[in-house]
Amino acid sequence: MAEKIAQISGETVRADFNSVETVVYYTRAAHGMGLWDSERRLIERHFPDRTAHLLEAGCGAGRAALGLWEAGYRRITAFDFADELVDQARSLAAERGVHSIRWHVADATQLPVCHLIDDRLAAEIPHFALGETQRLAGGAKAVCHLLDDKPFDGVLFLFNGLMQIPGRENRRAALRGLHALCRAGAPFIFTTHDRDDPAELHLWAEEASRWARGEQDPRLPEYGDRYFAHEHGHTFMHLPDRAEVLDDLAITGWTHVEDATRDALARESRLVREFSDNCRFWVARKL
């Protein structure tokens, strides 16, 4: 009997992002790239107040969070579930003399757990939900400052971070958790790759046929998933169509504001174009 192939899970993605090749790749980008022009334009449009308290999910090695700081934003909290990347972000921030960004290890799909936190419940909450909290003095109330005295003024989940979460229900859990941490009216900026890109419709028609026959890659949890091997490691990515994104926003309490492809927002440098294919930026707002 053939051995059953395990599906890609959050732990698979975490291990991929903690791999040496991937850490080196994202750390180089953090050192040399900063905010993309498209990111900067959207951020400045929707967060004109530089005193806004911003939360960046999936911060990686700190490229965007440090770019925000360089753009004049001083109240930044950033987290990622790959502890090796967060270590690199802290190191780069210290190297640049930036000490006000709050860096944390946390899982975007586990953010609702934060609402249960107090000292009595510390031992009951999974380590991966708390990240480094169990290594800090002060019990569970030390958790990441993801719970602050005031809710966040907005959220960023850049470079397709949301779509690197396997499983639609897990992505919805992340959307709900981020929603819960924000004030009413807070903007949310994130990116995706389009499954309904006209240039790739024929490829997805072939993939749909494979799923209908049960011949898809057994590692993939859902139609729309891809798993790439490349020189800097492995990358899981879910490519949604437009209806899927709008449905997921609506059901998790976000309202769609606007969306546009990166090349429609700005002409990026060759460095950015080599780092990432064209993508779609989405802006939503907490109802």
The model's pTM: 0.88
Residue 113 lies inside a defined structural domain of this protein: yes
Q: Is residue 101 part of a domain?
A: yes
Domains contained in the chain, number: 1
Give a yes or no: residue 4 inside a domain.
no
Distance (Å, rounded) from C-alpha 144 to C-alpha 128?
Answer: 12
Q: Which two tokens stand for residue 99?
A: 């000490």
CA within 13 Å, CB half, 210: 15
Structural domain including 150 reads 10-286
Alpha-carbon distance of 57 to 245, in angstroms, equals 18
Q: What is the pLDDT along the chain (287 residues), one digit of tens a residue?
A: 456 789 999 999 999 999 999 999 999 999 999 999 999 999 999 999 999 999 999 999 999 999 999 999 999 999 999 999 999 999 999 999 999 999 999 999 998 444 433 333 333 333 334 343 333 333 333 344 455 557 999 999 999 999 999 999 999 999 999 999 999 999 999 999 999 999 999 999 999 999 999 999 999 999 999 999 988 889 999 999 999 999 999 999 999 999 999 999 999 999 999 999 999 999 999 98
In a domain, 3, yes or no: no
Tell whether 92 is covered by a domain.
yes
Q: Say if CB 75 and CB 53 are below 8 A apart.
A: yes
C-alpha neighbours within 13 Å on the C-beta side of residue 22: 20
Structure tokens at 129: 């939900």
Domain containing 209 — which CATH number?
A: 3.40.50.150
- Amino acid found at 284: A
Crossing angle between the packed helical segments 10-18 and 83-95, to the nearest 10 degrees:
40
